[in-house]
């Protein structure tokens, strides 16, 4: 069987008891970065063998690992969060499904859920965008997102955040509401809320650090008086 195992996005305590048991009992752990994952495994005294499985080699390794999952238990983890969500995982899961190997995905940490809930924007329906195109097709994609009626979830680098907020404001309107969450589940966790224009100005003055989740309201949401607020 292939077990897809979520790992903490910040605090090492954000892992389930079942995830720890699976990681201990598996015959092999496939990790996005063995150096990063070794910190977690050492913390919980887990000595299961590790092997690299990342976006640069998953095309070559997925078939062989799917074959192995037919006769042994393999766990797949990423650096943080749930594999397959803007991280390697899809190709291996697809290969296992095609070969008839059983796949189980454990529930657990993923960065966008706490960011979405803490945003103060509607979260009953939402669109997960992940990372935007950096160059080719970016403007077209922004125009398409501007028409979405659901709250949108976007992952962004701290180095591109301010520019992205400016672009979103230009396409969607400066008064579109949004929130920026960074360093989720870490010591310096922060959520800043406001309009796209306000957030762009805020992060121009105060450049962000850490992993970023950007939440943007959908088109035609009721407007209210919103100022930049941190929480």
Tell whether the model's pLDDT for residue 230 goes beyond 70.
Answer: no
Question: Interior CA angle at 72 toward 70 and 73, to 5°?
Answer: 110
Task: Say whether domain 112-230 belongs to CATH 3.30.950.10.
Answer: yes
In this structure, which topology does domain 2-105 adopt according to CATH?
Cobalt-precorrin-4 Transmethylase; domain 1 (3.40.1010)
Name the pLDDT band for 220 (thresholds 50, 70, 90): confident
Name the pLDDT band for 226 (thresholds 50, 70, 90): very low
The string of pLDDT tens digits covering residues 16-33 is 999 999 999 999 999 999
Sketch the domain layout of the chain as residue ranges. 2-105, 112-230
Contact 212, 155 (CB under 8 A): yes
Cα 157 to Cα 164: distance, rounded to the nearest angstrom: 10
**For position 161, what pLDDT does the model report?**
97
Tell whether the model's pLDDT for residue 11 goes beyond 90.
Answer: yes
Mean pLDDT score, 2-9: 97
Tell whether the model's pLDDT for residue 229 goes beyond 70.
Answer: no
**For position 223, what pLDDT does the model report?**
52
Phi-psi region of 5 (alpha: psi -120 to 50; beta: other; left: phi over 0): beta
Cα 231 to Cα 25: distance, rounded to the nearest angstrom: 40
- The larger pLDDT score, comparing residue 45 to residue 228, is at 45
Name the pLDDT band for 177 (thresholds 50, 70, 90): very high
Mean residue pLDDT across the chain: 94
Contact 66, 101 (CB under 8 A): yes
The string of pLDDT tens digits covering residues 132-164 is 999 899 999 999 999 999 999 999 999 999 999
Tell whether the model's pLDDT for residue 189 goes beyond 80.
Answer: yes
Edge to edge, what strands does the sheet with 28-31 contain? 50-52, 28-31, 74-77, 2-4, 103-105
Contact 132, 164 (CB under 8 A): yes
Cα torsion 67, 68, 72, 73 to 10°: value is: -100
Strand partners, 7: 81
Using a pLDDT cut of 70, give the percent of the chain over it: 95
- Residue 212's nearest CA partner among 203, 220, 221, 224 is 203
**For position 225, what pLDDT does the model report?**
42
| pTM beyond 0.95 | no
């Amino acid at each position: 069987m292939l077990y897809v195992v979520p790992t903490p996005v910040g605090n090492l305590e954000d892992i389930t008891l079942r995830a720890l048991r699976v990681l201990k009992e598996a015959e092999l752990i496939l990790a996005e970065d063995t150096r990063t994952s070794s910190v977690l495994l050492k913390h919980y005294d887990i000595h299961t063998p590790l092997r690299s499985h990342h976006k640069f080699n998953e095309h070559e390794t997925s078939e062989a690992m799917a074959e192995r999952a037919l006769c042994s238990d393999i766990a797949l983890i990423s650096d943080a969060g749930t594999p397959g969500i803007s991280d390697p995982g899809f190709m291996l899961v697809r290969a296992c499904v095609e070969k008839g190997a059983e796949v189980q995905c454990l529930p657990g940490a993923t960065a966008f859920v706490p960011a979405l809930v803490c945003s103060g924007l509607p979260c009953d329906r939402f669109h997960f965008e992940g990372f935007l195109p950096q160059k080719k097709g970016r403007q077209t994609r922004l125009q398409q997102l501007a028409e979405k009626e659901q709250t949108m979830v976007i992952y962004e680098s701290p180095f591109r955040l301010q520019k992205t907020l400016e672009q979103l404001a230009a396409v969607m309107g400066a008064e579109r509401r949004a929130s920026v969450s960074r360093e989720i589940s870490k010591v310096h966790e922060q959520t800043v809320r406001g309009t796209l224009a306000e957030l762009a100005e805020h992060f121009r003055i105060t450049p962000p650090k850490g992993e970023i989740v950007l939440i943007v309201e959908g088109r035609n949401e009721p407007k209210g008086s919103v100022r930049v607020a941190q929480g």
